[in-house]
Amino acid sequence: MTFRDWQSLEPAEASRELHRRVRTLPPAQQRAIIAHLPSEHDLADTFARSSSSAPLSRVPYLLKDLFDVTNVPTFAGSTFLPEVRPTPPRNSHLVDALNSAGAVFAGKTHLHEFAYGITGENPHYGDCEHPRLAGRTTGGSSSGSAAAVAAGIVPLAIGTDTGGSVRVPSAFCGLFGFRLTPGDPFISDAVSLSRTCDTAGWFTADARDLRETIAALIGLSPAPASTPRGCFLELTGLDPDVALTFRTAAADFASPADTTTRDTLLAGFAPTLDAYNTIVAHEAWQIHRPWFDRFHNRYDPFVQQRLLRASTLPADQIESAYHQLTATRDLWHSFFQTFDFLILPATPFPPLTKPDCTVENRLRLLTLTAPASLGGLPVLTLPIPLPSGFTTGLQLIIPTPRSPVIPWALSR
């Protein structure tokens, strides 16, 4: 159901339909995806209060449980966060913006614990599976949000993206995704993983719905009068079918990067994975250090290990990573003097099975997403089908969230 389909329903009917769609999920997936769900009565009241003149009137959305809703505990995929962080007395900025635009808060979604993972696994609430591909992951960390849209529970769900947490689930689940920029108001009051790289973002299953969300929340520039100038870059390490599909899909939007641009970008992107991992680890440890000793046994074991490694990072490695951050942002600034966008593959492979959620495959994913993350750039993710029936995606990287490239790309 698109935005318009939901808007055609009466409040009680919309609430009933949403609850019905949640119940169609297997019980284990209901628990893995949904962190908080208002009662059918309360949800109907929220639908009824939505202004009919607002741009997102009566559009239900689910919210990644890193953002606050008044008097609803925020767990961030953990079991203990409310014990060290009080129940929020007010909404996050993004929630207020959504509500002002007429969207209807329909609940919260689970995630990879503290957003520190890209596979959507969570030992506390269960792993999020692709709704149409049993045994395959949604990707993460915005796993519950992506699963909810892919399952048709809601037409809009909010996520975050530090190192690919909107881009990877969008690609795996065949969704449209949009990642904003670090430090903007929509991410400023969410539970943080890395202040340098955290961004807000969202998912839809429909290009028109994504365009309307962007227009309502941040504004949308008119489509350009002429074709924007972009190029695509095929990075190494892609599965053969993904490489071929990426090349074909990207060619609908742009030409391959010329030799000089390609060589400059490849050299500049090579150090970004290590720098990204170091910065995120260092900043995550600063956030978790005050309560880590007390609660270390209640962390996801893999998140616990990452934080323990982060606690011992050498100072020179941290300093070098921040130098690379500056170099990467300078590289992107130079690129955007000539081009309006760059297309990179979103994933090197189709949705993973749990045994394939390895450190090696996590690094293969981050190799593709780290350049934009370290660059602090907005990214539009466009789904593309693979011959196997799975999906991957294009990362369309742009210099600003209001780039005219967005309406141009979404109308194609």
User: Which residues are known to be catalytic?
Assistant: 64, 141, 165
Residue 202 to residue 67: CA distance in whole angstroms: 13
The H or E element spanning position 329 is helix 315-335
What stretches of 88-166 show up as alpha helix (H) in DSSP?
A: 93-100, 143-150
The H or E element spanning position 230 is strand 230-232
Nearest to 212 by CA among 1, 9, 3: 3
Residue written as tokens 């074709």?
Answer: 227
Residue 59 to residue 300: CA distance in whole angstroms: 34
Q: How many helices (H) and strands (E) does the chain have?
A: 17, 13
Which of left, alpha, beta for 377 (phi over 0: left; psi -120 to 50: alpha)? beta
Nearest to 313 by CA among 257, 274, 368, 256: 274
Residue 100 to residue 25: CA distance in whole angstroms: 30
Tokens read off for 245? 């599909």
Handedness of CA 8, 41, 108, 173 (dihedral sign): negative
* Dihedral in degrees, nearest 10, Cα atoms 190, 192, 194, 195: 50
How far is residue 387 from each of residues 232, 350, 382, measured CA to CA in Å?
Answer: 21, 11, 17
Strand pairing partners for 129? 137
How far is residue 91 from each of residues 189, 191, 263, 286, measured CA to CA in Å?
Answer: 9, 13, 46, 25
Strands 200-204, 176-179: pairing is antiparallel
Strands 60-64, 379-385: pairing is unpaired
Tokens read off for 103? 């969207």
Q: What is the largest CA-CA distance in the chain?
A: 61
